[in-house]
Structure 1
Amino acid sequence: MDVILLERIARLGQMGETVKVRDGYARNYLLPQGKALRANDANKKRFEAERATLEARNLERRSEAQKVADALEGKTFVMVRSAGETGQLYGSVAARDIIEALAAEGFNIGRNQVDLSLPIKTIGLHKVTLLLHAEVEIEIEINVARTVEEAERQAKGETLTSADAIYGVDEDALRPEDFFDPDADREGDEE
């Protein structure tokens, strides 16, 4: 199906372009969301008549998204989660959790604006991209830790999944001889 785009859509085209898309994509997403019109003579005339209004609305949305991006620039959000000694989370941090953390800080971001292909399953610092507008995206940092103190240590650059960080022991200093004596007599050994 041929459609006229009413806004810029990533990997599809710019506002005003006529593009060919699959029928289901047009019927189920582009047309109901108001992102496109069917490409026929009546809709082409309608688009040309409304072009200035659509461009002004798009510019307004873009400037609002840019304001939010400027406010989010350089921010780190801390997520406290339960995790094992190796740093594996007992759950995960999904897009919904990121939205809740942003909302707690006063940012109204939609779930579909979080570009997180897989949930976060380990402690550490993770970069997450937010798609605020077709032309505005920003990368924020998510600090996943077991405690707030651990998050502060991670933010300073410490690694928290090694034996040194967890137990305060230097991994290189650990040797098998420190744990058992190979020369010790074992019960039941006969010589």
Structure 2
Amino acid sequence: MKVILLERVEGRGSLGDVVTVKDGFARNYLLPRQKALRANSANMKVFEAQRAEIEARNLKAKEQAGKSGEKLDGTAYILIRQAGESGQLYGSVSGRDVADVINAEGGKVERSMVVLDKPIKTLGMHEVKVRLHAEVTVTITLNIARSADEAERQARGENIIASQFEEERLAAEEAAQDMLEGGAGQQEGDYGDH
């Protein structure tokens, strides 16, 4: 299906371009979201008549996105999640979770703006892109941890999973040393006949 783009669409073209896209993409995404018009002679005339207005509206939206992007870019958010000992989350962090945590801190982001190639399934620091406008993308950092204390340690650059295994190894070595020195399981005393 041929459509006239009303804004820049990633990988397709920019405002005013007449492009051919798959019917489903046009019907289910571009047309309902007012990102494009069907490319027929009537719509071409309407578009040409309103082109200056559409470009001005698009520029204004881009400027607003740029302003809010300046506040958002580089910010960090903490998400507390339950996870196993290896750092695997019980569940995953989705675009909706990211949007919710940003909005809770005063941002204005919709779930569809969060760009996640795949869901986040591990503890740690994760960089996530947020597309506020077709031409404005910012990066935020998610600090996913099991507790506020772990989040703080991760923010300082500590690998909490590695340090957890190190702490367990040291504790096991200490326990083994205690046993060798006779601190556990050995009792001194007279077990003679009474």
TM-score range, shorter chain: 0.7 to 0.9
CA 1:87–1:131: 2 relative to 1, 3 Å:
same
Describe the superposition over 1:138-174 as per-residue Cα deviations: whole angstroms up to 9, x where unpaired.
1110000011111111011111102x33562567x96
Q: Deviations over 1:7-65 (max 9, x none)?
A: 11110001001111112222222122211111122211111110111011101111111
> What is the alpha-carbon distance in structure 2 between the residues aligned to residue 25 and residue 91 of structure 1?
30
3-state DSSP of counterpart to 2:33: coil
| Deviant stretches of 4+, over 6 Å | 177-181
2:125 — aligned with what?
Answer: 125
Give the match for residue 46 of structure 1: 46
Q: Mind listing any 5+ residue stretches in structure 2 that lack a counterpart? A: 181-194
Deviates more, 1:128-137 or 1:39-48: 39-48
Partner of 1:71: 71
Pair member with larger Rg: 2
TM-score, normalised relative to structure 2 = 0.84
What is the SS of the residue equivalent to 1:161?
Answer: helix
Kindly state the Cα deviation for residue 117 of structure 1 after the two structures are TM-superposed.
2.3
**Aligned equivalents of 1:29 and 1:169: distance in 2?**
52
CA contact (8 A) 2:125 2:142 kept: yes
Distance in 2 between the 1:179 and 1:88 partners? Answer: 33
In the other structure, the counterpart of 1:12 is: 12
Instruction: Give RMSD over aligned pairs.
Output: 2.2
Deviates more, 1:58-67 or 1:83-92: 83-92
Which residue pairs with 1:141 in the alignment? 141
In 2, the alpha carbon distance for the partners of 1:156 and 1:146 equals 16
Unpaired runs of at least 5, structure 1: 182-191
Query: TM-score scaled by structure 1?
Result: 0.85
Between the two proteins, the alignment pairs up a number of residues equal to 178
Q: Deviations over 1:72-98 (max 9, x none)?
A: 122100001111221111222111111
How far apart in 1 are the matches of 2:84 and 2:94? 18
> SS of the residue aligned with 1:11?
coil
C-alpha distance in 2 between matches for 1:76 and 1:4: 38
What letter corresponds to residue 168 of structure 1 in structure 2? E
Evaluate the alpha carbon distance shift between residue 141 and residue 98 of structure 1 in structure 2; reply closer, same or farther with a 3 A threshold. same
